[in-house]
Amino acid sequence: MKIKARAKINWALDVVGKRDDGYHLLDTLMQSVELYDTVEFFRSDTIELVAEVGARVPRDDSNLAIRTALLLRDMFKVEQGVTIKLTKRIPIGAGLGGGSADAAAVLVGLNRLWKLGLSDDELQAVGLRIGADVPFCICGGLARATGVGEVLERLPVPKLCYLVIVQPCRGLSTKEVFSLFDGEKARRADITAALDAVSSGEFFRMTSALTNALQPTAVILRPEIAYAIQALEHAGALTAQMSGSGSAVFGVFTSAHSAQKAWELMKPIWERSFTTRIASRGLVPREWQGQQGQSP
């Protein structure tokens, strides 16, 4: 089976507290987009990951796809293995949920390949053990996430809009950003106002409503983030901001034409630049194909 594992953006993100174990409590509005990685599964006696030549993708259990496969095998005493072929398009360390999307695809793919019979709710519970964004990446669409990101309120997908996504610098680790985050000085995000703006289809309302409380901290670490936001706005974006804990930013456009024009301006400056649009689901599986018994 081959699965498209879609990235996500955060329309808005607020940090509302901190648990005793050090995890920060969030209130965030997450949206699937059509930028995706491809995850393929081949029957095998062992668990391994392969990627295209030259890809900067770890092949051990530091990769969430492998970690997920190992966890499922151990939890359900599976005697089979799998070769996972991963084609990366979602930038790494970008705040776009690429690793979480890959993990979500592995959960769904192996649930079928290994005939585990897990429901979506059960898959999401396992996914939370891998990462806070994994449950959202399984269901996708538009959702308000609270807690550490695991409590999901699914919402109607808004009117179609187009995005240009840019990663203007090297990746950021979530831990690094949160370690410097000062909640008392941060600009708070109004998630209700953001939801109203996104749901209304009146894109001009997004300009003042969309806020990422982590953005000022990330800009201290990577000033290029601010430059990319300004560049997208100058290129015609209705609004632009950072996604997640960075380092990618996205600009919002009302037409494919205007997004394409902006992308043409961004691409010569930043190689990791993409045009995409919002999506109604996080994973797009294809049916099993004839080569499922062979390794790539």
Considering only the top CATH level, what class is 2-155? alpha beta
Q: Roughly what angle, to the nearest 10 degrees, separates helices 98-113 and 120-128? A: 130
Q: Up-side HSE of residue 109: CA atoms within 13 Å toward CB?
A: 35
Domain 162-277: CATH superfamily, name plus number: GHMP kinase, C-terminal domain (3.30.70.890)
Could you tell me which residue, 163 or 197, shows the higher pLDDT?
A: 163
Q: Give per-residue pLDDT as tens, 204-227.
A: 788 888 999 999 999 999 999 999
Share of the chain above pLDDT 90, in %: 78
- Other Cβ atoms less than 10 A from the Cβ of 109: the count is 24
3-state secondary structure (DSSP) of residue 7: strand
Q: What share of the chain is helix, strand, coil (3-state, %, to 5)?
A: 30, 30, 40
pLDDT digits (tens, 9 = 90+) for 176-194: 999 898 876 778 899 999 9
- CA proximity to 108, closest of 288, 290, 291: 288
Q: What's the confidence (pLDDT) of residue 183?
A: 72
**Predicted pLDDT of residue 61:** 80
Give the model's pLDDT for residue 20: 80
Per-residue pLDDT tens digits for 139-155: 999 999 999 888 999 99
Backbone region of residue 216 per phi and psi (left: phi > 0; alpha: psi in -120 to 50; beta: other values): alpha
Average pLDDT, the chain: 91
Q: Where are the chain's structural domains?
A: 2-155, 162-277
The length of the chain is 296
Asked whether residue 293 carries a pLDDT value surpassing 60, the answer given is no
Q: How far apart are the first and last CA of the chain?
A: 13
pLDDT digits (tens, 9 = 90+) for 18-47: 888 778 899 999 999 999 999 999 999 999
Beta-carbon contacts of residue 162 (< 8 Å; ≥ 6 apart): 252, 253, 254, 255, 256, 258, 259, 275, 276, 277
pLDDT tens figures, 50-64: 987 556 787 778 899
Q: What is the pLDDT of residue 35?
A: 98
Q: What are the catalytic residues?
A: 8, 133
How would you classify the pairing of strands 240-242 and 81-87? unpaired
Residue with tokens 């530091």: 62
Query: 55 or 3: whose pLDDT is higher?
Result: 3
pLDDT surpassing 50 at residue 261: yes
pLDDT at 289: 43
